[in-house]
């Protein structure tokens, strides 16, 4: 039987279309930190000769997997089967460490029973195979000594959890991956669950299967090198979630605080049922060591309902939304809303006042959506005198009615009155950075708070500064909601400077 690898291999899939280019990719992958490479021979045009395979594999400094995936298993090779098997045989003779042989290739009749190590693979690009246990049984039966690999399409992150079930149930070295954005969790956590390997792309766009992070993302974003069986897991639930800055911020914070923890993106399609299914599946697996979740659009209300009003803080209940779930080691849940406190503290910090000093001050809130809701609740809690201005007046009226504020339409903005102006609309956000919700900053405005954080300095903030008012970017609110999440989850002071630098760096990379 093959040995379980001491450390899970970070396998870079090489997908160049000619041998010279693939050789360069191989060197690049090793330099970037790959601890194994997969040569996707089905990407090469034409299929390489034995001599070319020797050139490719000569002096390869890391273990290699030779794969020539046929179209029927999601690969690019569409020629005769005997040619495919011949090329794999030649790769074995050229020194490949493993040969990837699909489960539907009979063991007898192939020359692969001896020689290089075998990786028996099964792929399903439609979804989770109905009977994963039976597939594991077949993979174990066909070559008892081979490493098993199963890869299937994930519809939601609960499918990624099934890949972890597969790894835990495997008696022999295994790889189990859920493909697609929703399955990325199974790739990132492969090391925590003792997989033989996980696959990484060399660069964005060179993925050999959907959802593969790059080597750089594994190592620098998802803390690959420090992950082990004891790593605690956190994540952000949202849709969309791919461009969320939260994984970068929280992983940087965990690293700076020396914590054995990782934070992953979780794409859950809109809908209460989708959210509930995932949370149910997660809580059924306490061995995942899940400790916390950030929740963003469109699931904040679902989070409140799932956690239950009784387990949420007063502010979350008042706003009707939870953006932070804490999971105890025993599986108990707690819900918080850190948007509210983040907005308050960012505003009061910029104005140099205590929260209580908001009482009696006049505030104009532009917009009546989710961000406005948290801010209006906060301002009213501290007895500020709030007027909500919104494009859809009825929404402003409904929100105002709930929290005891006043309501107006956008046409009233030219007569806007308030010591504090808070923009909770996307007007001025990237790419329409020349827009501002106000033509001029009215006299008497002491502070302007734009909840937008991209760009960091909006036109509204430039107008406010020119008018002598305090100007506060949404970056502060965004940062503080993450800081407060970190502190709720860990009980430690958050490394704010590291988190701020990370946000600024992410924003510098553009949307
Ligand atoms: P939302 O729930 O969709 O609400 C958007 C609000 O903006 C609605 O009141 C909408 O008016 C109004 N609006 C949209 N387009 C408009 C336009 N072209 N002209 C005038 N009004 C317009 O969104 P949200 O979650 O509240 O987010 C709103 C803003 O807050 C975004 O810019 C976001 O970047 C920011 N935000 C920042 C943070 C942070 O941490 N800094 C957190 C959350 C949100 P109708 O009611 O008429 O549709």
Instruction: Write the pLDDT tens digit of every residue in 464-507.
Output: 999 999 999 999 999 999 999 999 999 999 999 999 999 999 98
Distance 433 CA to ligand 1 centre (A): 15
For ligand 1, atom 11: residue with the closest CA: 391
Pairing of strands 406-409, 470-473: unpaired
Query: Closest ligand 1 atom, CA of 426?
Result: 32
Q: Whose CA is nearest to atom 13 of ligand 1?
A: 425
173 or 461: which carries more pLDDT confidence? Answer: 461
Which of 426, 433, 454, 507 has the most ligand 1 atoms within 8 A of CB, as the residue to mutate? 426
Q: Which residue has the higher pLDDT, 62 or 508?
A: 62
Look at residues 7, 6, 24 and name the one whose alpha carbon lies nearest to residue 15. 24
- If one residue of 244, 424, 432 were mutated to test the ligand 1 pocket, choosing by the most ligand atoms within 8 A of its CB, it would be 424
Mutational pocket test of ligand 1: of 321, 413, 451, the residue with most ligand atoms within 8 Å of the beta carbon: 451
What was the pLDDT predicted at 196? 96
Helices (DSSP H) in 300-392: which residue ranges? 300-307, 314-319, 338-351, 370-381
C-alpha distances out from residue 3 to 7, 84, 195, 228, Å: 11, 28, 12, 18
Which helix (H) or strand (E) segment holds residue 43: the answer is none
d(CA 139, CA 270): 36
How does the average pLDDT of the chain come out, rounded?
A: 93
CA of residue 390 to ligand 1 center, whole Å: 10
pLDDT band at 1 (very low <50, low <70, confident <90, very high): very low
pLDDT tens profile 9-28: 999 999 999 999 999 999 99
Rounded mean pLDDT of 364-375?
95
* Alpha carbon of 371 to ligand 1 centroid (Å): 7
Taking the CA of residue 410 as reference, the ligand 1 atom at the shortest distance is 20
For residue 2, the model assigns a pLDDT of: 39
User: Residue 110's pLDDT band (boundaries 50, 70, 90)?
Assistant: low
Concatenating the DSSP letter of every residue in 52-100 gives HHHHHHTT-SS-EEEE--BGGGTSSB-S-HHHHHHHHHHHHHTT-SEEE
Q: How far is the CA of 455 from the centre of ligand 1 (A)?
A: 15
Q: How many Å lie between the centroid of ligand 1 and the Cα of residue 427?
A: 8
DSSP code for 441: P
Q: What is the pLDDT of residues 432-447, one digit of tens each?
A: 999 999 999 998 999 9
Q: Is the CB of 418 under 6 A from ligand 1?
A: no
Neighbours of 329 (CB within 10 A): 10
Neighbour tally for 2: CB within 10 Å: 14
Does residue 44's CB lie within 6 angstroms of at least one atom of ligand 1?
Answer: no
Phi, psi for 64 (deg, rounded to 5): -130, 145
Determine the Cα–Cα distance for residues 482 and 402; give it in Å rounded to an integer.
Answer: 27
pLDDT of residue 315: 85
**Residue with CA nearest ligand 1 atom 12:** 425
Cα 464 to ligand 1 centroid, rounded to whole Å: 20
User: Is residue 245 in contact with ligand 1, taking CB distance under 6 Å?
Assistant: no
108 pLDDT band, cuts 50/70/90, is low
Rounded to the nearest 5°, which phi and psi values hold at 307? Answer: -70, -30
Determine if ligand 1 sits within 6 Å of the CB of residue 369: yes
Q: What is the arithmetic mean of pLDDT over 189-201?
A: 96
Phi-psi sector, 258: left (phi>0), alpha (psi -120 to 50), beta: left
Q: Is 180 in the pocket of ligand 1 (CB under 6 A)?
A: no
CB within 8 Å of 53: residues ≥ 6 apart? 87, 90, 91, 93, 94
Instruction: Determine whether the shortest distance from the Cβ of 321 to ligand 1 is under 6 A.
Output: no
pLDDT at 150 over 90: yes
- Residue 266: is its pLDDT beyond 60? yes
396, containing H or E segment: helix 393-403
Residues pairing with 13 in the sheet = 38, 201
Interval 419-430 mean pLDDT: 95
What interhelical angle do 50-57 and 81-93 show, nearest 10? 40
CA 452–ligand 1 middle distance (angstroms):
9
| Catalytic positions, written as ranges | 123, 149, 300, 339
- The answer to whether the CB of 451 is under 6 A from ligand 1 is yes
**Dist CA 113 CA 125 (whole Å):** 27
Residue 225 token pair: 């090198």
């Amino acid at each position: 039987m093959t040995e379980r690898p001491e450390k899970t291999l970070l396998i870079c899939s090489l997908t160049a279309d000619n041998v010279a280019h693939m050789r360069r990719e191989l060197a690049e992958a090793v330099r970037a930190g790959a601890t194994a490479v997969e040569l996707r021979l089905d990407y090469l045009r034409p299929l390489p000769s034995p001599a070319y395979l020797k050139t490719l594999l000569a002096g390869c400094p890391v273990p290699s997997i030779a794969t020539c995936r046929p179209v029927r298993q999601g690969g690019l090779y569409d020629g005769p089967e005997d040619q495919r098997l011949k090329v794999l045989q030649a790769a074995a003779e050229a020194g490949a460490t493993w040969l990837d042989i699909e489960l539907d290739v009979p063991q007898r009749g192939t020359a692969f029973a001896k020689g290089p190590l075998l990786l028996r693979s099964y792929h399903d690009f439609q979804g989770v195979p109905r009977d994963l246990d039976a597939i594991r049984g077949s993979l174990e039966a066909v070559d008892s000594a081979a490493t098993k690999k199963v890869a299937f399409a994930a519809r939601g992150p609960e499918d990624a959890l099934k890949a972890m079930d597969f790894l835990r149930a495997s008696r022999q070295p295994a790889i189990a991956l859920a493909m697609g954005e929703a399955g990325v969790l199974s790739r990132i956590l492969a090391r925590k669950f003792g997989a033989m390997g996980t696959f990484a792309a060399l660069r964005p766009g060179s993925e050999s299967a959907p959802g593969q992070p790059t080597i750089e993302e594994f190592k620098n974003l998802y803390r690959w090198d420090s992950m082990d069986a004891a790593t605690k897991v956190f994540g952000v639930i949202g849709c969309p979630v791919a461009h969320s800055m939260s994984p970068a911020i929280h992983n940087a914070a965990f690293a700076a605080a020396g914590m054995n923890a990782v934070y992953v993106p979780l794409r859950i399609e809109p809908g209460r049922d989708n959210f509930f299914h995932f949370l149910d599946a997660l809580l059924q697996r306490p061995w995942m060591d899940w400790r916390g979740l950030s929740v963003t659009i469109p699931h904040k209300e679902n989070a409140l309902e799932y956690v239950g009003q009784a387990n949420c803080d007063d502010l979350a209940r008042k706003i009707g939304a939870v953006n932070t779930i804490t999971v105890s080691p025993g599986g108990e849940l707690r819900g918080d809303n850190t948007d509210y406190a983040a907005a308050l503290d960012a505003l009061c910090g910029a104005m140099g006042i205590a929260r209580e000093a908001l009482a009696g001050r006049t505030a104009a809130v532009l917009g009546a959506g989710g961000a406005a809701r948290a801010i209006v609740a906060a301002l009213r809690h501290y007895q500020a005198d709030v007027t909500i201005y919104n494009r859809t007046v009825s929404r402003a009226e409904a929100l105002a009615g709930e929290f005891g504020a006043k309501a107006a339409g956008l046409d009233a903005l030219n007569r806007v009155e308030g010591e504090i102006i808070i923009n909770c609309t996307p007007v001025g956000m990237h790419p329409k950075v020349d827009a501002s919700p106000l033509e001029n900053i009215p006299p008497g405005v002491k502070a302007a708070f734009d909840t937008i954080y991209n760009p960091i300095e909006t036109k509204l903030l430039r107008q406010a500064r020119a008018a002598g008012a305090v100007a506060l970017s949404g970056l502060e609110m965004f940062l503080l909601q993450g800081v407060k999440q970190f502190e709720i989850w860990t009980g430690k002071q958050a490394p704010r400077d590291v988190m701020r630098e990370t946000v600024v760096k992410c924003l510098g990379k553009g949307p």
